[in-house]
Amino acid sequence: MSAVIETHDHDDHHHGPAEGLTRWLYTTNHKDIGTLYLWFSFAMFLIGGAMAMVIRAELFQPGMQIVEPEFYNQMLTLHGLIMVFGAVMPAFVGLANWLIPMMVGAPDMALPRMNNLSFWILPVAFFILLSSLFMEGGAPNFGWTFYAPLSTTYAPPSVTFFIFSVHIMGASSIMGSINVIVTIMNMRAPGMTLMKMPLFVWSWLITAYLLIAVMPVLAGAVTMMLMDIHFGTSFFNAAGGGDPVLFQHIFWFFGHPEVYIMILPAFGITSHIIETFSRKQLFGHTSMVWAMTSIAILSFVVWAHHMFTVGLPLAAELFFMWATMLIAVPTGVKVFNWVTTMFKGSITYETPMLFAIAFVVLFTIGGFSGLMLAITPADFQYHDTYFVVAHFHYVLVPGAIFSIMAAVYYWIPKWTGNMYDERLGRLHFWLSFIGVNVTFFPQHWIGLAGMPRRVPDYALQFADWNMVSSVGAFLFGASQILFLFIVIKTVMGGKKATPEVWEGARGLEWTVDSPAPYHTFSTPPKVS
């Protein structure tokens, strides 16, 4: 795609950012808000990561060593909630804010003030959630899936605050999605047809529709919990005619599309990076769009693969098994396209490319373990074991999170105007790559051997691999401090980046200066 910029922004000087802290509080600039989201998610990543360190420290050896089982459960619950809703999702929203307006040639997001609001309610939500640690009865302890009646009848009193914070997170996501969709649908530069749209924009368009569809269902689920707990209804209480299994259906109707919400933007990012560093045009742009669309649609009819063991009738077990396996087809198309793009390309292995290649390989491993779990009779054995933990960490850590890191390395020269330190970036990659695999690969084995998930203690035969896994986790955790250091170093200074940054990079964002001026595309570029 080629772009012609008709005019540069000449009025930068009287439209620069405000000074001081209020700049961040009142900002409606998509780049500022993107930065806020990214820093917020980084903070959450470190907090959630610290909790993971507590978990792995306790599991370092069998027996109860460091924390009480009650506290272990709270750590596990908060770790999951914070990583999903605090780290991965806001990071993608941050990237969307920074990149979508620049990629479609729009001056800003469509609803800048709502954009400000949707960011600033997030820290409030997580403040509430984290403060539950200090409440009587402790923080939520029922797992990130908050199954009733664990989260209703047996929940600590802080569950009400949990519900409130989930409502706020949901509102934030919904507002963010509305903004994304309106921007993409109505503010594209002239000449940018839907099919010419960059894949990251496409992936976010689809993600935003998924969010619009399922976040309200999540809100409904927690509202029903609230009513069961405080207003005497019985949505999930069998004594009053309700059904706890209904909770699982509603939760996973939200939950499965949610896992794709956490991976679709990663697909977009990976496509851009592989294209750039292979120095070839991406293979199969159109099929990528269709693959993402069909994955999104299918994600609504597979939710019960999380519930194979609740006692579904045979017909449902079979339906959800086949529907789940069907998703592997469009997923396979994507992996095929990435590999084909790299094939015979003149590849160089800068840090973003390293993370992107690792993404393709390790995400595929996660996809394969997902396929194993989709086989109903096999899942009867694997369900609620560490095999499931290994599966979803492979798709989420070297999947979603590696893609976010790749994106940061890839676009940070555009954001800051400085190149990151390539040597340190590669070191960070290799430490993370080794750490992630040492942590999560052995969890496949202990899971197949029968170790249940969500336990603070375990039988002796699982001891060795748990210790290995913990060592890997500490390595992975420590290497993220290096990441923080690299990011700060790049913000502070470094080799100046050219506007194009990467040789042959495609897309409108590479046509503006580095760092990108505070206002870009006040006059829309022409796309041909």
112-131 vs 69-81: helix crossing angle, rounded to 10: 170
Q: Decide whether 104 or 224 has the Cβ nearer to another protein.
A: 224
Contact 51, 44 (CB under 8 A): no
**What is the Cα–Cα distance from 411 to 418, expressed in whole angstroms?**
10
Q: Which of 62, 123, 143, 220 binds another protein (CB under 8 A)?
A: 220
Q: Does position 395 bind ligand HEM by CB under 6 A?
A: yes
Quick check: 162 binds another protein (CB under 8 A)? no
Of these partners, ligand HEM, another protein, Cu ion, none, which one is at the site of residue 253 (CB under 5 to 8 Å by kind)?
Answer: another protein
Residue of the chain from 34, 370, 425, 507 that contacts ligand HEM (CB under 6 A): 370
- 30 catalytic, yes or no? no
Distances (CA, A) of 104 to 22, 91, 453, 463: 29, 20, 44, 52
Q: Give min distance, CB of 164 to another protein, in A.
A: 12
371 is a contact residue toward ligand HEM (CB under 6 A): yes
HSE-CB at 352 with a 13 A cutoff on CA atoms is 25
Q: What is the largest CA-CA distance in the chain?
A: 69
220 binds, among another protein, ligand HEM, Cu ion, none (CB under 5 to 8 A by kind): another protein
Q: Which two tokens stand for residue 84?
A: 């999903």
For helices 386-395 and 351-374, angle between their N-to-C axes, nearest 10 degrees: 140
Helix H or strand E encompassing 527: strand 526-527
Residue 187 interacting entry, from another protein, ligand HEM, Cu ion, none, C-beta within 5 to 8 Å by type = another protein
- In the list 216, 244, 450, 499, the residue contacting another protein (rule: CB under 8 A) is 216
* Residue 166 tokens, joined: 């989930």
Burial of 217 (0-12, 13-18, 19+ CB in 10 A): middle
- For the CB of residue 96, give the shortest distance to another protein in the complex, in Å: 16
User: Which one of the listed residues 285, 306, 391, 428 is annotated catalytic?
Assistant: 306
**CA-CA-CA-CA torsion for 374, 379, 384, 388, nearest 10 degrees?**
-40
Angle between helices 402-416 and 89-104 (to 10 degrees): 50
Question: Applying CB under 8 A, does 206 fall inside the site for another protein?
Answer: no
79 catalytically annotated: yes
**108 catalytic, yes or no?**
yes
496 is annotated as an active-site residue: no
Query: If binding is defined by CB under 6 A, does position 399 make contact with ligand HEM?
Result: yes
245 binds, among another protein, ligand HEM, Cu ion, none (CB under 5 to 8 A by kind): another protein
User: Which of 408-418 are b and which e, b meaning 16 or more Cβ less than 10 Å from the residue's Cβ?
Assistant: bbbbbbbbbbb
For the bound state, the minimum distance from the C-beta of residue 366 to Cu ion, rounded and expressed in Å, comes to: 12
128 binds, among Cu ion, ligand HEM, another protein, none (CB under 5 to 8 A by kind): none
What residues make contact with another protein under the rule CB under 8 A?
Answer: 110-111, 136, 153, 155, 157, 160, 174, 177-178, 181-182, 185-187, 212-217, 219-221, 224, 229-230, 235, 238-241, 243, 245-246, 249-250, 253, 311-313, 316
Q: Which residues are catalytic?
A: 79, 108, 144, 172-173, 256, 258, 260, 271, 305-306, 331, 334, 453
